[in-house]
Chain A
């Protein structure tokens, strides 16, 4: 659900990654693994002994309630700015499915002093990149710009926090763009939306967790300017947001600019947050659907994870690392290497982020695309056997150490990344959801504190067959269904 600028999202690897190497874009293949969710996947799960990293933080609030996190690092003369609003697709109002995401697009369509396209031109024209995205519990907007452009960007973000200025024509235009995004992501490619969009709709029972996050086309079409204004007035208030600035800047100057541009924006009363609780699941759920374009069957399994910020979730995160993350993981060894069911098995806690970047119930999923000869029951039995093994026997010291080493490396990657996206994401979520961005510097010790026995215990408590949801994708051989291709579950 990368928004407006899935453009930059798709271009990043070319600019920054080693993908520059691919000489001819037409010549790629070798996707021997199922495609991951259409976003930054790879849970950037952190950890480590006695805090190998120590992210510098300056955290405060303006009188209007806007949270501000400043983190200075002058390794490169760039600065990353993120504004996160505490409104995501799962908490959008009933009858307005897809509105949180549609609205994210509208935030690029005009504000008090910037007309349509002007925000984008201002950032790109000064040497920066930008994007926004909609996730379970937040919508974010971010830029990476040369360090000397910071004040300009702060002004622009404040301008669109201050006032929305869109026209009926701009709304209609973005309704068209979003509908194309949905077609791109879910209807015009095999396994579109699987399982990041399809699974929550069957594994969850609470409407907030279980509705179509991209939105029903009818709901998208029904959105009006008045709806947009009301949504903005309600949720895009400074007291429902956090501003994160990370990179090369002067602390005093940044604080002064933030006060100058953001302090005058009025706080607004926030509605009560909806109850997101999922009732305990007593029996396995099954869902099967036909994907018109899929040439092979696919299987996904999901379970609810422990509550955020509990020792149980840290233990579950290590469990995920041991079972599912990387080619050394137990399920990779079993399902891919030994059984040969698939070219890869993917998944994790929160496919659209990681175990810290949401604020409510969350699923742990695993999924793979397999051949018809491999029966789902056999694959599930193998998964069950691996779960049973860790339920009855804690991981060895060597295996746990490997998991912690991987976590440590990813924490360094977070701190050392030139885009600082992962860093900004964690700081924003810890500030927005917990009022505690300094949590980032305690992550290591919290992972280290997990006793091996607790890993087995959470496996027993959360990963029983009765608690799981099975989703099966049936390859669509029949002629295309005219109305609802890829029929949603």
Chain B
């Protein structure tokens, strides 16, 4: 559904990505791994239009684009979460999830202000969608709690909920398990797999925890210093000498 061909990205003299190509198939869980500074987050930012690569092509659902901005990406069905949680801290969980529906609201400013016509119908419809996701991710008990008061693991889950509220076809997760304890990680894994299974969402995720990556992803891209050094199933990578040298070897030393 998505293919990346020969993408290069540089900030001044720093080459964040050089000539990276890979593809993402419909309905798969695809992981991007690599040591710190390998260009994983940059890659994700390219995919949802935050950064524009100097070279290369990105093809999403048969459409090629070069200079897409993040708003466009969102309206094409690409949603994401962030490494360091980007929620509205003062708003409740429900309101945060509702913001994920933002792009799907059609009512005009006037209708919204007067609370009539489409605005009313839409609100009910969006609330229902939001509640379904709240139910799905089991965060009913914090529905009315301001996000800033929640523990980290739950905030991560709320962020996932907000991304899902946009009903994306492609979901980009930037380190969804960073800073979590074992139990929270297991919960998150289960939710990611459930999302993939239940909504049929294609998922691209960046993760450091090798156990998690090997468990839940079907195929893995390995980046090192902005280059792709390997691409394949978790089993293949486990025996790949280059990967072991660049990443796994270091991590386990």
Bound pair (A, B) = no
Q: Please list the residues of chain B having a beta carbon within 8 angstroms of any beta carbon in chain A.
A: none
Q: Enumerate chain A interface residues (CB-CB to B < 8 A).
A: none
